[in-house]
Structure 1
């Protein structure tokens, strides 16, 4: 007979994590009566997930009753270092408790005790009753409760996956049993709970001592046996602190809870009360779940659809504006499996799993004909149909792009999720229908067809609402003239791809392997022993314990050996530079050389995908693989570009790169006369800035160092750099950095005016905007927290600049594609790397392209200063720079 299951939840911990998981969207989660709801929303989603995972018979959610407990009487500063709980979270706790009651889940708090003590007491009670216990929390303190019948699930990545702690996992992770973990904490102390441990005793030493002596008491029983050392001295001096720490760290498993196990029987909830609560909170997605009988319901709305087959294909009669949806399972639509398609036309919905039908005459005529077709994602759909040999025409509306422009804080590419944002709950999300990861599976036909029918219906149903919103935001031109036309350009770029010579990559792989072996030997020789170079723990021991390099930063598990730390130790020992070089080449080898070899498709090309709705600034990003991030600062990184070649044997890879486009945009939007003068007269802008901030008379007087400093200030200002950030970048004092910035604003006064105005406008509107009306919402612009608010202010300053630069190159891409087609050139646009366009050019068209591309790029938009584009070309991408 299966054991009954008990689920115990640390309510405060989950509410806290839920609150901060959606903290950046705090201003979006507000009920009609002004209550913040981000923690409530996250808590409910986490609760649903854990209930589905555990499927308990009994459940309790424990909360803290207040700040004063028996521990604060024992130690006044217990948890004293914690920041005050935000009022926006405090106001949600009572509503979470109300939600639990309405769901039929027992919630409980106990004066003078913490939630941990309630969980500890009830877990012991359940264990003694022979139950299987699961504890769900974000607090590792509760891992001391793990046992043969109790598993502690710790949330990872905010509200994402969980890590299961059992006695075996505790031994593997910390080298101690769950109850011994109390003693480890007693020795090391706890910064979060603000109680001291023994001086200079961290987790590693504490775990070693407890593993050796069994307990805190065992450590002190054997203190006299220890050799004289600083550790022994600290243990002696801080014994009172350690013993106090053990009392504070120990969860009370016999707290006076007035609960019995039958009280925790999971109830069915009260749907009437839940409906009222969800309506009060404005949580329409939860209301939709109630309306359809819960989240396990596979079909939300039953559509009247016709299944298309070869037998009835002749009856397909499209007319008027239509909606089309092509389903592929997987993110990379160049390789994803086809699932089916749906069409809504002439008042009828058609669905099918047989995508081969799309190559039959009636559907080819529909897809390539004059009828206007609305789709969810133009680029994905275009590429998918191209794989089937169909080149679609008259795709006139892209729901994904419309939603992205309206609010690019939400960059989901799931049609169901986007529909829910606009109060349409007729269609489920893909996660609900297909699952994710290895569990993804196509459901039975009835569920699949209904899902496809729902998707194709929503495209048309939401079209006018989204277009009206775009018009209200003055974004209709951005949508019609930039983003939608660009989707076709990107689709064609992705389909063409870039030709790669695998042999070049294989040769690099061999060269880098030899270099890595050589570096390994040199590092081991410098260290005086062999060790696992890829283990931060072992590397930390070598650098900081054996070689005694200065400790820059420590983590919970030992010494930090991050790049930032090693950069600060470059001059401390030759081994550091060797390690940095090893890491750099190793990353290039695995990420780019091997990574690129794995992505070459059967046509000998790499077909990267461009994410058009991923960034808040509007910049494109490249994935599968990321060709925008191939390193260019090191020779090893640059060598990779030699593998990318022109399609024709004597052809060229042609590059055209905007020169300082963001600074030119800054000069335009700020209207600063001095900066505009520099660009209009063709000055080197960094030398011009150096002349002004260093009070020099001519560019010839500017030293390379002064130009470098001026360049750092120029680009730093765009990103709202502080005197601290500038001092760190340049290796100068904060006073010098502050003087540079002050002098900069003296010479370019209208830039300071622009920055102040940008922040002021963002505070008033809640968003920043590019010259093309692309919005960047800034929910934290009025936040009370200084750091959070400051980041939003910097974003308000740089988003219009970055976003406008992104818009400019998108316009250039669209215009260039039109020119290439109009002139019937064989040259193809194959890659975009931020401010740079790369083309595959036949030899006979090179002279034409040399004139055409910079001309198109420089005339993409009209600014108050000229746009300049620099060219380069060669038989490989490496040679083009």
Structure 2
């Protein structure tokens, strides 16, 4: 069947412009948006459509502007850098042999809509390439083979049926116009029903069917939203007209007129060379496959020569091997003969990918439902062991099957591959299988290769590095209230999903391993830090930590009493009752009634009542300070004192957090369920919560904490003689800094305020703080703060030089590095927006220090864990919090643990200054810290 592709050119040009960094060619001409569009065009042509058109908006007003003069009135003028890319875009489109369409008086959407409907009626299958949700109104399922589908080549999503539209928006394609009319469109300046979002609009249309019926029965809608609906009734018919894509135009072209012409190779060669699209140029010359500039991390001819820019700019990465993007062949293992055959395959290979399917996302309680394996790309099997729905086929015995797999998993010489495999290590351990030889994790390969290029979940990685769309969990198990447990998923569907997990893991490893191998510094970080850390974190999580639930209950009661007192105080100050948890009521009270200044605004321009906003006005009235106190108490109670006792594992009697390696781009670990890294340490309440983390009888809590590690790393990286001298002498670094900055003859002459100012400067400069921030923190004039900073740099010129050198490196390469070679990409380092650029520059200064600190403590954890292996009964690591490690230790073994742990932490890096480790011992974490 013939196929027509209609490309929404205007949409893609804008989206590419805002999605990609400000790239330019050797002549300084902007190329970022052009780069993204050209990649999309090449990927489209690779699919060999019969007919294709590139549709753009014509200049001037349209019929919608006549109907509603405010239509799109809030849109800014096209940026100059984008305008400069329109003509070369059109030249490349023409040279590729595509027809460019534009029609005065209407929008590109209307031209596309008319051609799509006409083509489908003529038996031509239509694909609209766009990211605009409005086009969902045109989706229709194939009739006699011809339908209308939407494909977003930037995200890989596809809408091609009523069910896919309903899944995405909650309404049918024929209801999309009414759906959009109710919500309005802030981009086009079409006001909808106030506070009516997609869920509300879908709910109304689900109940009433059409916009006309919603309007007719508006009186039945209760509450404030009902009032909003009734207030909007006069404008809803116009909204419907404005959001309806016209399909009745005389466009002067039949779909069959849009045949792809022969491309003009000479013009393309000239244009690709001019704008630095080297991969496209190689493709043109027959030297590479088509489908988007390679994500190989090498120079693509752009003035920003950084590998980071090349990676960020790739709209869709190209797999090194086409087989990595092909469909797989999967087998459901139900008989002993099948299982024996797969056991033989697993025994015959050097490595295999695996994944577990479970009945829970909590690895400390999850039970196995099935296991999948892959021994080569495209080949995988699913071994179901716990599907118990009515009519489920007989499955092999779980205990015997896992026993047969145990030797394979226990063999350290046989490499295992996983995606976020720490979860699976926990699950298998709890089922009697200790995994050895866990060699590669695709989540970590992607994270180390480029932490900011993409999210690191399997779906995102498959899309980026394989050009492959995975089966989603919701596709086989449903979603929301109707979602079923995996044990209830039909085996055919379960196999399609579970076996694919192992298969895609294997394919991703084949795609990512060569990329890391091409970057020896990054591969070293991956091999020597991230992969060895996986089993270490698994052991820490499995150890868990004991808490005193009765103590937390007492603290909850105390926090509740203080919250009530704060409520009463707030009521007194306001002169009336109000809901302290309602931002709307609080905003009205503070800014309308009390007339306090709204110094912080929300993105929409409304006065904010967040923490920053209340801190900004806390010196002008007592009420904001009371609200802040109330919120702080409420957060501690809901997050910790109430919640932690509920999170005690019923099997272990302990709390088990989860650590995340692929979170912060700097490499710092995060924790969740519960998050134990955000317990306040500088407040009495935070310390009280730490008192509830206890050791069992006969054991003690030991805490070891790096002292001022980021400042020491600053001294190492900058090589500043003054800083190095201060640390080598063992002096109080903040007092030493104050003596230098304020010209004191000795440390004893430094006052408390001078030390405080020096400490603020020391830490503030690392985080990019300027004179304004320092002035606010110290409560001094901005000019005085600027003088402090100037004095600091005059005494520590090496720090100033390091900061400028680092900014320059970031601008030239697009990244900075830690001492150990971890690379931290900064996509906004050359952004047009000054705020984004300044933020990237601040990150460039701080990231090497924070990232190096993260690498150091990870190296220390690996070393200590290796030593603890022979002393597992006497001591264990139970927590990692920023620069601190916490242990649970037998009383008689405490001194030994302290000696070894501190020595290994100090030896985790060889810096120009010593790494100092503080320590403490106690019955609970607070005493030990």
TM > 0.5 fold call: yes
Asked if structure 2 preserves the Cα contact closer than 8 Å seen for 1:303 and 1:450, the reply is no
1:422 matched to 2:468: no
The SS at the match of 1:605 is coil
User: How far 1:111 moved relative to its partner?
Assistant: 4.1
User: How far 1:808 moved relative to its partner?
Assistant: 0.3
After superposition, the Cα gap between the structure-2 partners of 1:337 and 1:851, relative to the gap in structure 1 and judged at 3 Å, is same
Given candidates 391, 396, 403, the residue that maps to 1:361 is 403
Q: Distance in 2 between matches of 1:178 and 1:833?
A: 53
Residue 894 of structure 2 corresponds to 846
Tell me the TM-score normalized by structure 2.
0.71
1:793 matched to 2:824: no
After superposition, the Cα gap between the structure-2 partners of 1:142 and 1:43, relative to the gap in structure 1 and judged at 3 Å, is farther
Residue 491 of structure 1 corresponds to 538
Aligned-residue Cα RMSD (Å) equals 5.1
Matches within 5 A, 1:716-735: 716-735=764-783
Given candidates 440, 448, 463, the residue that maps to 1:397 is 440
Residue 780 of structure 1 corresponds to 828
User: How far 1:613 moved relative to its partner?
Assistant: 0.8
Residue 319 of structure 1 corresponds to 348
Q: Distance in 2 between matches of 1:780 and 1:538?
A: 38
Matches within 5 A, 1:866-881: 866-881=914-929
Asked if structure 1 preserves the Cα contact closer than 8 Å seen for 2:445 and 2:513, the reply is yes
Tell me the TM-score normalized by structure 1.
0.74
1:301 matched to 2:301: no
Question: Any stretches of 5+ residues in structure 2 without a counterpart?
Answer: 1-6, 25-30, 44-52, 118-133, 138-172, 203-209, 264-282, 294-313, 387-397
Given candidates 655, 665, 668, the residue that maps to 2:716 is 668
1:342 matched to 2:372: yes
1:765 matched to 2:813: yes
Residue 467 of structure 1 corresponds to 513
Residue 456 of structure 1 corresponds to 502
Q: Distance in 2 between matches of 1:763 and 1:868?
A: 34
Q: Distance in 2 between matches of 1:170 and 1:267?
A: 48
1:619 matched to 2:655: no
Q: Distance in 1 between matches of 2:659 and 2:889?
A: 21
Matches within 5 A, 1:431-450: 438=481, 442=486, 444-450=490-496
Q: Distance in 1 between matches of 2:292 and 2:326?
A: 22
User: How far 1:178 moved relative to its partner?
Assistant: 7.2
Question: Any stretches of 5+ residues in structure 1 without a counterpart?
Answer: 1-8, 28-32, 46-59, 157-163, 185-248, 293-298
After superposition, the Cα gap between the structure-2 partners of 1:766 and 1:131, relative to the gap in structure 1 and judged at 3 Å, is closer
Bigger mean CA offset, 402-411 vs 87-96: 87-96
1:540 matched to 2:587: yes
Matches within 5 A, 1:3-402: 20=18, 22-23=19-20, 36=34, 65-66=58-59, 79=73, 82=76, 84-85=78-79, 87-88=81-82, 91=85, 111=104, 132-134=175-177, 136=180, 139-140=185-186, 172-173=224-225, 175-177=227-229, 180=232, 260=248, 279=290, 281=292, 301-303=327-329, 305=331, 307=333, 309=335, 313-314=339-340, 316-317=343-344, 318-328=347-357, 332-336=362-366, 338-345=368-375, 349-354=380-385, 356=398, 360-376=402-418, 377-402=420-445
Residue 641 of structure 1 corresponds to 690
User: How far 1:815 moved relative to its partner?
Assistant: 0.6
Q: Deviations over 1:253-307 (max 9, x none)?
A: 599998529999x99999999x99995655996999xx99xxxxxx962415461
User: How far 1:662 moved relative to its partner?
Assistant: 0.6
After superposition, the Cα gap between the structure-2 partners of 1:712 and 1:10, relative to the gap in structure 1 and judged at 3 Å, is farther
User: How far 1:868 moved relative to its partner?
Assistant: 0.3
User: How far 1:480 moved relative to its partner?
Assistant: 1.8
Q: Distance in 2 between matches of 1:588 and 1:464?
A: 46
The total of aligned residue pairs comes to 765
Asked if structure 1 preserves the Cα contact closer than 8 Å seen for 2:8 and 2:108, the reply is yes
User: How far 1:616 moved relative to its partner?
Assistant: 0.5
After superposition, the Cα gap between the structure-2 partners of 1:866 and 1:454, relative to the gap in structure 1 and judged at 3 Å, is same
Q: Distance in 2 between matches of 1:762 and 1:141?
A: 34
Q: Distance in 1 between matches of 2:595 and 2:242?
A: 47
The SS at the match of 2:329 is coil
Given candidates 541, 544, 549, the residue that maps to 2:596 is 549
Q: Deviations over 1:101-149 (max 9, x none)?
A: x9x9x999764677999999999xx9xxx974526588338786869xx
Bigger mean CA offset, 849-858 vs 427-436: 427-436
